[in-house]
Amino acid sequence: MNKIGVCSWILGIEDPHEMMEKVKLLGLDGIQFSGDWRNYDAKEISAAADHFQIEIFAIDPYNCAPPILENANKSSAIEFYQKIINFAVEANVAAVNLQGLPQWTINCSNREECWEMLVDCCKTLDAYAQLKKVKLVYECVNRYESSMIHTVTQGLNLINAVGHTNFSLILDSFHMHIEETDPIEAIRDAADFMYSYQISDSNRSGIGRGQVDFVKHHAILDELDFEGPIMIEVVLPELVPNDTPKDAAQRERLDEEIRRSVRVWRNLKDSENY
């Protein structure tokens, strides 16, 4: 059975101890840590996770834009992400998500130059990550949130350009609904390079609130014997696209939406018993 976790940013909890306690109370196995890593002590995060027996599946530097846009270039991007890899080592986390890297190509003059910079950065970071025994993952994100790598095909092209097997993809049902002509075939194509799958309906809500066919998504992952973590990344309707709960009532509603989506996913065997 796949481990099930949550992308931590949706909880709106900054304190590591409170964050891990919430994940435990939700009955989940782990998190994708999506906070601003610069505001945290890696060992404190690791200790909190250990205390509640929560696995940190990946560090996702949610706040990863260049601090000074004029200074964004290949060397500054590599330096920034090397620090995140070091942070992952200290926090005893196996993977780092690079999906924010395109923000660092802002000073490139054209798309070809952006692509070359992205590939060069990933090659250098891949070599560094292998030395540190950290895996690199890249989430395919829709065109409204990222300037590059929107589809599985583009993600696989990046992996091929980097030329290493230390690289995997994160697929998100919300992003796939926007970008993929056939999300099921996209998942199939990514089978050998898939790190995790994220649950978020077409409107960013939980399972069944939008148009994503989770029956088919679940079935293809079963067919492929996918063993990676399943991550919940849902947002309340009034907080879409990326706001977090503001009061106790919203936090309670989000908790129930997470629990409900987990129940549906765990009980989803095939279209006949959906």
68: containing domain: 4-273
Which residues, 6 or more positions from 217, have their beta carbon under 8 angstroms from its beta carbon?
173, 183, 184, 187, 197
Q: Percent of the chain at pLDDT above 90?
A: 95
- With 50 as the cut, is the pLDDT of residue 149 above it? yes
Report the distance separating Cα 96 and Cα 81, nearest Å.
9
Q: Percent of the chain at pLDDT above 70?
A: 98
Is the whole-model pTM more than 0.85?
Answer: yes
| 259, containing H or E segment | helix 248-267
| pLDDT of 173 | 98
- Tell me, what CATH number does 116's domain have? 3.20.20.150
SS3 state at 32: strand
Residues 125 and 80: beta-carbon distance below 8 Å: no
Task: Find tokens 């279209």 and name the residue.
Answer: 271
pLDDT band at 97 (very low <50, low <70, confident <90, very high): very high
Report the distance separating Cα 101 and Cα 242, nearest Å.
19
| pLDDT of 1 | 87
Residue 113 vs residues 72, 82, 92, 145, 154: alpha-carbon distances, Å: 14, 22, 35, 20, 16
Which residues, 6 or more positions from 12, have their beta carbon under 8 angstroms from its beta carbon?
244, 245, 246, 251
Domain count, the chain: 1
Report the distance separating Cα 54 and Cα 52, nearest Å.
5
* pLDDT, tens digit, 9 for 90 and up, residues 48-72: 999 999 999 999 998 899 999 999 9
Encoded tokens for 151: 């589809």
Q: How remote is the C-alpha of 157 from its chain's centroid? A: 19
Four-CA torsion 100, 104, 107, 113, nearest 10 degrees? -80
Report the distance separating Cα 102 and Cα 180, nearest Å.
20
Phi, psi of 26, rounded to the nearest 5 degrees: -75, -5
